[in-house]
Every structure is written in C-alpha cells, then in structure tokens.
Amino acid sequence: MASEYRSEYRAESEYPAESEYRAAGAGVAVPDVSGADASGAERRARERRSRRYRLDMRWSPYAFVAPFFLFFAAFGLFPLLYTGWASLHRVELTAPGDMEWVGLRNFSRLLDDDFFWNALSNTVTIGLLSTVPQLLMALGIAHLLNYRLRGSMFFRVAALTPYATSVAAATLVFVLLFGRDYGMINWALGLAGFGHIDWQNGSFASQLAVSTIVIWRWTGYNALIYLAAMQSVPADLYESAALDGASRWQQFVHVTLPSLRPTILFTCVVSTIGAMQLFGEPLLFNGSAGASGGSDHQFQTLGLYLYEQGWVNLHLGRASAIAWTMFLILLLIGAVNWLVSRRLLKNEGAAS
Amino acid sequence: MSVTKSGTQVGRSAPVRVPWGRRGLGAGRHLHGGRWTYAVLIAFTALSLFPLLWTAVAASRTNTRLAQTPPPFWFGGNLLKNLEIAWTDANMGTALLNTTVVAGSVALGTVLFSTLAGFAFAKLRFRFKNLLLLLVIGTMMVPPQLSVVPLYMLVAELRWTDQLQAVILPGLVCAFGVFFMRQYLIQALPGELVEAARMDGAGSLRVIWHIVFPAARPAMAVLGMLTFVQSWNDFFWPIIALTQNGSPTVQVALTGLGRGYIPDQSVIMAGALLGTLPLLAAFVLFGKQIVGGIMQGAVKG
Amino acid sequence: MRTTTRTRAVALAAVVTLGASALAGCAEDAEEPGASSGDGGGRTTLTVGVFGVFGLKEAGLYDEYMRQNPDVVIKQTSIERNENYYPQLLTHLGSGSGLADIQAVEVNNIAEVVATQSDKLVDLGKTPGVAESSYLDWKWRQGTAESGATVGLGTDVGPQGICYRKDLFKKAGLPTDREAVGKLWAGDWGKYLAAGRKFQEKAPEGKAFVDSAAGVMAAVTGSYAERYYDKDGEVVYKSNPRVKEAWNIASDFATSGLTAKLQQFQPTWDQGYANGTFATVSCPAWMLGYIKTKAGEQGKDQWDIAQAPKPSNWGGSFLVVPKAGKRTEEAAKLAAWLTAPEQQAKLFAEQGSFPSASAAYDLPAVADSKNAYFGDAPIGKIFAEAAEGAPVQVLGPKDLIIAQNLADVGMLQVDQKGKSPKEGWQAAVKAIDNALDQ
C-alpha cells in the first residue's frame, strides 16, 4: 500500500512536462480565435506575442542547456577527443606535437599488461572496500540525523567537515596516523595487544588504509545528501503506512528506501565514478615514492597507473589509451546500472 | 506527545533496533533521538573531527616530536610559529583571496548553469534530450588526470596561463551539477506548477525566476557549497595552470611549502590547516543556513 | 519575498562575477603575456622556477644580486617535489608558456632535457662570464647537447660520505674516530657490508646498521661511471655487472637483517632519524641539513661523517633558460652569476649544497668548512675529495625511472616484504621494461 502512494507520487512528479506544454500552447491559441472581434492592431500584437511565446516554448530548453554545453565543448569535449586521438598514437610528453600512428596497439597491449590488470583489480577492491561501507553508514547516519535531536545542527555540520578537508591535507594526516613504527593507529593496536601492521606494504592492509581515507572524507557528505532526500519524503506516506500497521523498520524499507531511490542511485553512480577514478589518496599515501602505488603496486589504482604512464613515464599515448579504457568501463557500468534499475522499476510497476 | 514518551523507552529494548522500534504514528523527523542515537552520532562526530583536530596538534609540535612514540595527543607550543612560517612562505594572503574568487565564481556559475540545464532535463522535453543527458553523464566519467594536457595546450593558446580564468572557466564544466539538479528537480518541482504558470502565459524567464529558482533553492545552496569546497581544494589542475608568483590558489601556494630536501611535517601540517580553516569557519558560520535551507525546501517539496 | 530577493542576488552576483572575469581576461589578454614583465618603476622582473628548497633564495643570493643590480627584481616559484615539477616543466616547454625565466633541472632529468628540449633552451655556454674551466668537467658535459650548446649550467653536485652514529658504533665495539671508520671500509663496498655484519653482532636491541637497502644500492651505483646506459646510449642496466654488484650488495644487507627496513624520504624514515634506529646512512652533501633537522637535538654530537668506500655521487642540479622567456639575456646573466664559483661557495656555506664549480673548492668557504652538528667534521675536504674522485657518469634519459623502479619496486620488496633478491630483481625489470616501452 505504501508503494501505491509512492507510485502515484512519482507519476505526478516524473511525468514529462511536454504534454502540459503543448496543452498550454493550445490554451494560448484559444483566445486568439475568440478574439476575432478585437481590433486589428490588438490582434496583431497578440499574434506577435503568441509567436514569441511559441518560439520561446520551442527553443528555451536549448537555451537552458546551452551554457553548460558551450563550456563543455571547449573544456570537456575537446580534451576528450584529443585524448582519444592521442591514444591511437605513440606520443611522448617530451614532444606532444610529435605523433606516430600506431592504430589500436595502445589498447591491445593492455590485454597483456599485468600492471593494468593489477590496477584494475586494485581499483575494484578499493572501490568496494570504500563505497559499500561508506554508503551504508551514510544511510544509517542520515536516518539518525533525521530524528529530532539536540544540537542537530552541530552533528550535521560536523559530519561535513571531513569533506571540507582537501585530499592532500587528509592524506597527509592519515599517512602519519597509519605510520608503521610510530603511527597512532599501530600504537593503539599495540595497546590492545595486537602486533604492528605494515599499512603501507601489506596488500590488503594498504588497500584498507586507502579506503579508510575515502570513507572518512565522504560518509558525512553522503549522509547529508540522504538526509536532504529523507526530509522531502512526504509525511503522509509515513502516516498512511503507519495506519496500515507498518512497523518502523517496515516503514524504512517500504517508504523511506523507495522514496530515496533516485538519491541512492545518484550516490551509487557518483561513488562508483569516484572509486573508478580514485587518484589523489593512493598517490599521496605513497609519500615520496611516486605513482607506483607501493613496492608491489599493491594500491596502484587505474587513475594512478594512468598518471604513472603519462606523467612519470611520459608516454602520453599509452596513458590516453588507459584513460579511454577507464571511460569505456565506466560507460559499461553505467549501462548495466541503468538496465538493472529499469528492470527493477518495471518489476515494481507490475507488482503494484 | 506520545513521541516524547517513546523516546524514554529506548533503554529497555535491544539497543540497535530501537530507533526503528515500535514508535507509533508519525514520520521520522518528528521523533526524538534516543540514547543510542546520540551515542552513535557522537562517536561518528568524534571520528569525523579527530583527524582535523590532530592536524592542529601536529601543527603545534616540532618535527622531531611527531616522530616519537607515543604520538602527541595535545597541543604543543609551536602552533603560532609554524603557522607564521607557513603563512609567509606560502604567500597565503594572495592565495586565499584568489581562491575565494575562483571558488566563488566556479560555485555561482556552476549553480546557475546546472539549475538551468537540470531543469530542462528534468521537466522539459526537447529533441536529443536523452542523447544530451547521456553526454552529461558520460562527461562525469572522463578521468580528469588526462584532460590536463590538451586543456593546458588550450589555455596556453588562449594566453591564459597564470590567470585565474584558466582555472575558473574549465571549472564550470560540472556534469555532476547538472545531474544533481536534474535528480533534485524531478522530485522537488511539481510539474503542475510549471504548467499553471505556462497557462497564465508566463515566458521561460518568468518560469525560471518565479518557479524553478525558488523550488531549486535548497539544492542550489547545497550544490553551491559542494562546488565551492571542491574548487577550493582542487590542486591537480591549478598547480599546472597557475604559478606561485602569479596568481596562486591556496593549494598551489601549499605546494611550495614542503621544504624539499628537508620537508618539515609540522610546517606542512600548519599549511594544510591554514588552507582548511577558512572553509571550516565558513561551515561553522553558514552551516546552519545551508542545512536550514535544505529542511525548508524539503518540507515544501 | 525574501527568498526571491536572495535568489536574485545570487544569480546577479554570478553574472557579474562571470562578466568580470571574462573582462579581466580580455584586459590581460591585451597585455604582453609571459612570465616576466617590467613593473611600473621600469625594473626588470626575473622569475626562477625550482623544486624543493633549492637554496638560492635561502642563501640570500637573490638579495645580493638585487643589491648589485637595483633594476632587477627576482621572484622564485618553488614546487615541493620534482615528480610534480618535472612533468609540468615539460608541458610548459612544449607549449612555450607558463615558464619562469630560469628553470631548475634535476640531474636524473638533465639527459632527457638536453636530448629532447635543447632547441627550446638558450645556449648558456656563450654567456659572458661563464668559463667552462671553472666547472667540474663531467658536470659541464652533462649540460651540453650534441650540437655543442651548453643549455644547463651546473649548480650543486652530490658527493657522498657515510654518516654514522658514534654512540651506536661504540656500543657495537666499532671505532668511532672518522679516520678509523673510513679505513674500516676504504676501497671496497664489500667491507662496508662486513662492518655491518660485525656491528649487528653486538648491536643494541632494535638498532640496525643501515637505514635501507635501497640507499646502499644508490650509493654503490653512484660510484661507477656506467650505470643504466652505456656510452652509446643503450640501456644496459640488466647486464651491467656494476649494477648487479650494487644489487647484490644491497640484497645482502637486506637478507642479513642489517637494515631498518625503511624507505627513504618517507615520514617513517624521518622518524628513524629522530629515534636513532640506524647507525649509518650514505649521505650526499645536501643530506647533512636533512639529517640535522630530522635527528634534532638528540642526535647532536652523535652523528659524524666518514669517507665512503669509493668516491660516489648522488644528485645535483642544473639551471636552464627557456628561449620562450621575454628577457633571456638578463636571465642568462643571472643564471651565470648564480652558478659562478663564488656564489656556489656561498650556497655551500649556507645550505650545504656542494659546488659543481670546481674552482670553488679552493675558496676558504669550501676548503675550510666544518660542520658543527657532525662533530666539526671537515666536510669541505671530505666532499671535495669525493667530488673530484667521483667518476664521470654516463647519463641516459630514463635514469630516474630506472633508478626509482630498482629502488622503490625491486629492492623495497626484498627489504620490506621479504621477497627473494631474484623475485625483487624480476619485479623491477618487469616494471622498467613496461616504463621504457613507448
């Protein structure tokens, strides 16, 4: 029953407005006809107005998206295309203008590139280690923040402060905290009777440490996004659900979560993209040792490998190919994500 | 009132389930948090604040003290000295001013563009809409590390090197913002409101001004803040496009701080603190308005 | 109503700001672009781009030059790490914009810069006041392109000694006098290893002989002329017996448990200094300041410096003048002045960067220099001997990448992850092969 309310709510809000617009346009045309007895000048003025109105109606959507796409073409599309072109060449950063056509070699060589596969698997592992707990925790925290609280403002602002810290500053602190011999975390582990963990060299340990930085910076941010969405769930949905005897947990599952779905989808997409492009944290976590991501490349992500190829090894062409591969992988994930959520929507539509 | 009572029942039942426990009528936001709610939130807040606090502790110590065990837990006497070194070495005054201009322009521009485009994608129908939307989402997926080279060539061609617009204008391409506003407006802007205004013969500008902007206001505030923070902390592109003597942003200025062969951790920490403090101060000052704006908008929505 | 007003204000501000910045763009566009420009007083502003603390500013050299040339203003741009600095320099050179009038280049990058960028750099060899004879011969050649143009003028070099802790040596029953310590391993890196074994037998709990295996490897490699490239420019590190020797000695250090298992220039390494967890480290001249800062008061009077087993060089830098600059002539003049023997001697006295201008070695500021922190060691003499004895190294464009992967991938795995030397070597070779393949 709760879902009934919801689908109604969605139907109202998600319906494309075009039909409404057409109706509105027709509505304007009506007085045009009925005003046949009005003076000629007045009619002409009205016609002009309505023509302008139709033009407005037709073209304003483009005008609205134009500023974004204008900047996008210059500062987004051009670099993207250039990078695509470069990926088909042998280009070195020492002479970016000097290109030698190699076809798809930069892509095909990735198949046997152990460093690429290693980076891909690290990216996925760190992505899961950081994204899943982060979003679940954020959901829980948002739910708690949604209660009426003393000092709620304090909690909300405090939850966002990690986000205000730059990656550089945050990673610097965490490198100190995760220090092998004198770091505070190992010190605390020592007090609790555990041995020291080599956070930088251990494969899983280092991935966990990098994930921790990500989780720390983003949980509060996502909690706030969820909170904002929770606040906009209409109270009557809860009321009617409660009238039907739904428990708090059932309300959470059947009212809160479905209402949050666009938001959850949104955060999932954004976090997945962020995880796929993870770069600053593993770079700086390695201190001075460059972009290798540890002696065994144990926390080298795709973003870091791309950086190493382009900015350390100076192979622009190879780096471009990695960038485009990352881009294509993300598109693939996006497509799967879209298909799945569409499927879910359909199923639920059938169920209700 | 029954709500308040149920708040006191918290201690009795199993701790974790309590927040969802039998609470009777009403939406979540009308309920008072229980003891465990506070406990969890306080723990979360402590974890959120601790690394920042410890940055300040580290910045108040000497380099040598940072290398000893157990690590320092409380402030030492070197904070002002380290802050002063960081301030003068890193040309912080100019840097803070520049960063404010950059982050402010990027935030305002992004909010404006994203709201317009987000509204179009959320509520209007036009040709190529889905294709363009896909393009927006696709843009979010471009790894930023590599566009740096072509972007730099472009900026050099335009002779923008070391000028703030080299950082501001590319910063306005925020696909995330468009996506964010679209997601928000789908829910928060009732279609019939737009329809009604159109019935009254309102032009696009009036619809934007009187309907879209007010409805989008909370999300605009949030997006503005997020973009501001993002832009403030961005370092990868600015250190390439700007220099420390020309018009550095804070993050650019900080790259000059490390003492190279002799990096002094406590001074670097002091610099990191200086770069973060203005944002934190802004959060404390305006956090209330931002969060308040969200609540207001949410109730309406 | 309040809402609307505020929204309006925000939007208005957005438009105004955008407009303003666009206008600012136009205005500045009309001006002469480029890093250097004259200011109102008709003075010339010269910019110097460096990485890390290059020391020129800290040693007061800019101030001195500005006093001598009141019409010149010098500004410095510094980027902390060469890994960030170098790719940016290449990007800027490639587009001919965003460059400082003078740019610093690290020795591991100089071969690549000379080979690929020399057409974009001013030939400093022809600048008045620059005399080839006052520089170390090999340093001069490193900055000279095939065409004969000297595009890089040497600043400092990195002759190495071995820094050691007297207190730990005493406890382990080794001599503490720097002459005697030097004799322990004179002439042979194998003797350094033997001394390590001896040290470790009686070493105090938790103290290691050396900081890291990679540091040993760098020092050994630095004592040979041919390292990663041969004279014909071929990559030979895989078959070069010298590199193999360095690898084996360093591996022996690691597998015999003589290292503190640290990674150089990481916070953990700094902490090792502060807590005195290792007894020796191979130290180029520029590292003395580092040790002093990191080891702090507790390390005072404990550290000393002895000759390395063989004369060896690690690090050093160059200055180049990009042709894209607006005032290349003035910039070249400044670069020549900054690298002249007198100025290099001052740099050494203030910052510890050892001169590459051999003519400076006889100046009292160098020859008589002693270091109080290192028990008044005659560092001028020690480093001058090392610098003059160090071989003329054959450099190659990818020196940095090869050295970095050997150290931070290969040797680090052996030292910290307990991999066998063979596994470590294979991992390093694999990473280098991948890195060199265009």
Contact A65 B175 (CB under 8 A): no
Whether B193 and B284 map to the same domain: the answer is: yes
Q: Which residue of B has its CA nearest to C16?
A: B105
Whether C419 and C396 map to the same domain: the answer is: yes
Alpha carbon C278 to its chain centroid, in Å, reads 23
Chain B contact for A1 (CB, 8 A cutoff): no
Contact C29 B159 (CB under 8 A): yes
CATH number for the domain including C411? 3.40.190.10
B125 to chain A nearest CA, in Å?
5
Whether B164 and B116 map to the same domain: the answer is: yes
Alpha carbon C12 to its chain centroid, in Å, reads 51
With 60 as the cut, is the pLDDT of residue C302 above it? yes
As a whole number of angstroms, the distance between CA C369 and CA A246 comes to 85
Alpha carbon C369 to its chain centroid, in Å, reads 21
Q: Which amino acid is at A249?
A: W
pLDDT for A348: 64
Query: What residues 165-224 of chain A have any CB closer than 8 A to a CB of chain C?
Result: 175-176, 179-182, 198, 200-201
Whether residue C2 lies inside any domain: the answer is: no
Chain B residues whose beta carbon lies within 8 Å of the beta carbon of residue A75: 151, 154, 169-170, 172-173
pLDDT for A105: 92
Whether C180 and C78 map to the same domain: the answer is: no
With 90 as the cut, is the pLDDT of residue C251 above it? yes
Alpha carbon B101 to its chain centroid, in Å, reads 16
As a whole number of angstroms, the distance between CA B270 and CA B80 comes to 9
Lowest mean pLDDT among B15-29, B149-163, C40-54, C424-438: B15-29
Whether residue C48 lies inside any domain: the answer is: yes
Query: What residues 78-117 of chain A have any CB closer than 8 A to a CB of chain C?
Result: 90, 92-97, 113-115
pLDDT for B18: 30
Chain B residues whose beta carbon lies within 8 Å of the beta carbon of residue A237: 27
pLDDT for A243: 87
Contact C84 B255 (CB under 8 A): yes
C265 to chain B nearest CA, in Å?
8
pLDDT for C183: 93
As a whole number of angstroms, the distance between CA B208 and CA B216 comes to 10
Partner chains of A (3+ C-beta pairs under 8 Å): B, C
Q: Which residue of B has its CA nearest to A308?
A: B145
Give the total residue count for chain B: 301
As a whole number of angstroms, the distance between CA B111 and CA A164 comes to 18
Nearest to B280, CA basis, from B222, B229, B227: B229
Chain C residues whose beta carbon lies within 8 Å of the beta carbon of residue A200: 263, 266, 268
Query: What residues 296-315 of chain C have any CB closer than 8 A to a CB of chain A?
Result: none
With 70 as the cut, is the pLDDT of residue B284 above it? yes
Whether C309 and C195 map to the same domain: the answer is: yes
Chain B contact for A170 (CB, 8 A cutoff): yes
Whether B147 and B211 map to the same domain: the answer is: yes
Whether B143 and B227 map to the same domain: the answer is: yes
Whether residue C304 lies inside any domain: the answer is: yes
Whether C391 and C271 map to the same domain: the answer is: yes
Is residue A71 a contact partner of residue B172, using CB atoms and an 8 Å limit? yes
A109 to chain C nearest CA, in Å?
11
pLDDT for C104: 94
Q: What is the mean pLDDT of residues C88-101?
A: 87
Is residue C158 a contact partner of residue C315, using CB atoms and an 8 Å limit? yes
With 60 as the cut, is the pLDDT of residue B296 above it? no
Chain A residues whose beta carbon lies within 8 Å of the beta carbon of residue B25: 239, 242-243
Q: What is the mean pLDDT of residues C77-104?
A: 85
User: Residue B69 has which token pair?
Assistant: 């065990």
Q: Which amino acid is at C306?
A: A
Asked which of B39, B55, B77 is the last residue of a domain, the reply is B77
Asked which of B47, B77, B107 is the last residue of a domain, the reply is B77
pLDDT for A116: 95
As a whole number of angstroms, the distance between CA C299 and CA C374 comes to 9
Whether C357 and C293 map to the same domain: the answer is: no
CATH number for the domain including B149? 1.10.3720.10
pLDDT for C26: 33
As a whole number of angstroms, the distance between CA B284 and CA C5 comes to 24
**Mutate which of C4, C16, C77, C350 to disrupt the B interface (most B C-beta within 10 Å)?**
C77
- The H-or-E segment that residue C70 falls in is none
Chain C residues whose beta carbon lies within 8 Å of the beta carbon of residue A315: 437-438
pLDDT, one tens digit per residue, over A84-113 is 999 999 988 888 888 899 999 999 999 999
Q: What is the mean pLDDT of residues B130-136?
A: 87
Whether C405 and C321 map to the same domain: the answer is: no
Chain B residues whose beta carbon lies within 8 Å of the beta carbon of residue C294: 63-64, 67, 262
B286 to each of B158, B278, B292, how far by Cα in Å? Answer: 37, 12, 10
Whether B70 and B89 map to the same domain: the answer is: no
Contact B69 A181 (CB under 8 A): yes
The confidence band for B74, taking pLDDT boundaries of 50, 70 and 90, is confident
Query: Strand C278-284 vs strand C152-165: parallel, antiparallel, or unpaired?
Result: antiparallel
Whether C276 and C408 map to the same domain: the answer is: yes
The range of the structural domain enclosing residue C217 comes to 159-314+378-436
Chain B residues whose beta carbon lies within 8 Å of the beta carbon of residue C97: 156, 159, 161
pLDDT for A295: 85
Total beta-carbon pairs less than 8 A apart between chain A and chain B = 358
Contact B258 C76 (CB under 8 A): no
pLDDT for A350: 59
Per-residue pLDDT of chain A (352 residues; tens, 9 = 90+): 333 333 333 333 333 333 333 333 333 333 333 444 556 777 777 777 777 777 777 788 888 889 999 988 888 888 888 889 999 999 888 888 888 999 999 999 999 999 999 999 999 999 999 999 999 999 999 988 888 888 888 898 888 889 888 888 888 889 888 888 778 888 889 888 888 888 888 889 999 999 999 999 999 888 888 887 887 788 888 888 888 888 878 888 888 888 888 788 878 888 888 898 898 889 888 866 678 888 889 999 998 998 899 888 889 899 999 989 998 888 888 888 878 878 876 776 655 4
pLDDT for C422: 95
Is residue C58 a contact partner of residue B261, using CB atoms and an 8 Å limit? no
Q: Which residue of A has its CA nearest to C410?
A: A295
As a whole number of angstroms, the distance between CA A335 and CA A329 comes to 10
With 70 as the cut, is the pLDDT of residue B295 above it? no
Count of beta carbons in the 10 Å neighbourhood of residue A327: 21
For A49, residues 6+ apart whose C-beta sits below 8 A from its C-beta are none
Whether B89 and B235 map to the same domain: the answer is: yes
Contact B108 C25 (CB under 8 A): no
Whether residue C3 lies inside any domain: the answer is: no
Q: How many separate domains does chain B show?
A: 2
Contact B147 A167 (CB under 8 A): no
Q: Is A45 helix (H, G, I), strand (E, B) or coil?
A: helix
Asked which of B19, B44, B77 is the last residue of a domain, the reply is B77
Whether B235 and B203 map to the same domain: the answer is: yes
Whether C50 and C75 map to the same domain: the answer is: yes
User: Residue C330 has which token pair?
Assistant: 């003035």
Chain B residues whose beta carbon lies within 8 Å of the beta carbon of residue A239: 25-27
pLDDT for C88: 85
Asked which of C344, C366, C388 is the last residue of a domain, the reply is C366
Q: Can you list the alpha helix ranges (DSSP code H) found in chain B?
A: 2-8, 35-59, 63-66, 79-89, 92-123, 129-140, 148-157, 165-171, 175-188, 191-199, 204-207, 213-233, 238-241, 250-255, 265-300
Q: Spell A295-313 as b/e; 16+ CB within 10 A means b.
A: bbbbbbbbbbbbbbbbbbb
Model pTM? 0.81
Chain A contact for B275 (CB, 8 A cutoff): yes
Whether C385 and C243 map to the same domain: the answer is: yes
Q: What is the mean pLDDT of residues C266-290?
A: 87
Whether B267 and B149 map to the same domain: the answer is: yes
Question: In the 8-state DSSP scheme, what is residue C35?
Answer: S
As a whole number of angstroms, the distance between CA C351 and CA C418 comes to 38
In the predicted model, what is the mean pLDDT of chain C? Answer: 85
As a whole number of angstroms, the distance between CA C207 and CA C104 comes to 38
Is residue A157 a contact partner of residue A142, using CB atoms and an 8 Å limit? no
Is residue A61 a contact partner of residue B120, using CB atoms and an 8 Å limit? yes
Whether residue C35 lies inside any domain: the answer is: no
Q: Is C143 helix (H, G, I), strand (E, B) or coil?
A: coil
As a whole number of angstroms, the distance between CA B143 and CA A88 comes to 18
C206 to chain B nearest CA, in Å?
14
Contact A159 B45 (CB under 8 A): yes
As a whole number of angstroms, the distance between CA C54 and CA C46 comes to 16
For A335, residues 6+ apart whose C-beta sits below 8 A from its C-beta are none
Query: What residues 97-126 of chain C have any CB closer than 8 A to a CB of chain A?
Result: 112, 116-117
Whether C169 and C302 map to the same domain: the answer is: yes
Whether C242 and C117 map to the same domain: the answer is: no
Whether C150 and C174 map to the same domain: the answer is: no
ipTM above 0.90, yes or no: no
**DSSP string for residues in C237-302:** TTT-HHHHHHHHHHHHHHHTT-B----TTSHHHHHHHHHT-EEEEEEETTHHHHHHHHHHHHHTTT
C410 to chain A nearest CA, in Å?
7
Q: How many separate domains does chain C show?
A: 2
Whether B36 and B115 map to the same domain: the answer is: no
Rg for chain C (alpha carbons), in Å?
A: 24
Chain B residues whose beta carbon lies within 8 Å of the beta carbon of residue C79: 239, 255-256
With 60 as the cut, is the pLDDT of residue C179 above it? yes
Contact A12 B190 (CB under 8 A): yes
pLDDT for C70: 92
Whether residue C34 lies inside any domain: the answer is: no
The confidence band for C41, taking pLDDT boundaries of 50, 70 and 90, is low
Contact B63 C270 (CB under 8 A): yes
Give the best-scoring range by mean pLDDT among A280-284, B68-72, C235-239, C357-361: C235-239
Q: What is the mean pLDDT of residues C171-181?
A: 93
Whether B140 and B240 map to the same domain: the answer is: yes
Whether B98 and B220 map to the same domain: the answer is: yes
Between these two residues, C139 and A53, which has the higher pLDDT value? C139
As a whole number of angstroms, the distance between CA A265 and CA C287 comes to 53
pLDDT, one tens digit per residue, over B196-249 is 887 787 778 888 888 888 888 878 887 888 888 889 888 778 877 887 767 888
With 80 as the cut, is the pLDDT of residue C53 above it? no
Lowest mean pLDDT among A120-124, C41-45, C180-184, C202-206: C41-45
pLDDT for A349: 60
Whether B139 and B220 map to the same domain: the answer is: yes
Phi and psi at residue C378, to the nearest 5°: -75, 75
The confidence band for C13, taking pLDDT boundaries of 50, 70 and 90, is very low
Nearest to C89, CA basis, from B109, A156, A113, B240: B240
C363 to chain B nearest CA, in Å?
25
Is residue C103 a contact partner of residue C47, using CB atoms and an 8 Å limit? no
Contact B276 A166 (CB under 8 A): yes
The range of the structural domain enclosing residue B65 comes to 2-77
Q: Which amino acid is at A212?
A: T
